[in-house]
Structure 1
Amino acid sequence: MSEIRYSVPGISCAHCVNAINGEVGRVSGVRNVAVDVDAKMVTVRGDGLDDAALRAAIDEAGYEIAG
């Protein structure tokens, strides 16, 4: 299992967590999504994770990845 982390400065509340979990959780290979509101981080764990698909899912949820 691999892990990818993203800095997402726009995360601020439970709505953000739910939106990101919903979109990222649909990406093939994702087993776990952890959204840390305080650290403004999204950690994704799974098998064969596709960085481009994960970035697109976070964008679809309405959030921008830093950097």
Structure 2
Amino acid sequence: MTADQKNSGSCCTTDGSCHSGAAVEGVTTVYTVTGMTCGHCEGAVSEELSALPGVTAVKAVAATGEVTVTSTAPLDEEAVRAAIDEAGYELTGRA
């Protein structure tokens, strides 16, 4: 833990990123999603995917249409598709 983290009483660093200090381990999969155009889109997709069991991290990038998901085990692609659909976007496959 850094001095800044100790002083803030939080796991968040001064740049606003949050982590436990440990490396995230698991399965990382990159998906291609169509329809994302802004930060709100990224947030909507990330929120839905983060709710899936076993998901430990999500990074959506509207500019590239790529969504990187880290999970404790491989995810069911239909569950991923349903979550992205629920957010209002379309899963086109793995990148």
The question of a shared fold, defined as TM-score above 0.5 by the shorter chain, is answered with yes
The match for 2:91 is 65
Q: How many residues align?
A: 67
**Superposed, which structure 2 residues align to 1:18-29 within 5 Å?**
18-29=43-54
TM-score with structure 2 setting the length: 0.65
CA offsets 1:13-39 (integer angstroms, 9 cap, x no match): 011011111111100000000001211
Q: How much has 1:51 moved relative to structure 2?
A: 2.0
Greater RCO, 1 or 2 (C-alpha within 8 Å, sep 6+): 1
Q: How much has 1:55 moved relative to structure 2?
A: 1.4
Aligned-residue CA RMSD (Å) = 1.2
The match for 1:30 is 55
Report sequence identity in percent: 42
- Structure with greater Cα Rg: 2
The one-letter amino acid of 1:44's match is V
How far apart, in 1, do the equivalents of 2:76 and 2:49 lie? 11
The one-letter amino acid of 2:41's match is C
Are 1:41 and 2:66 an aligned pair? yes
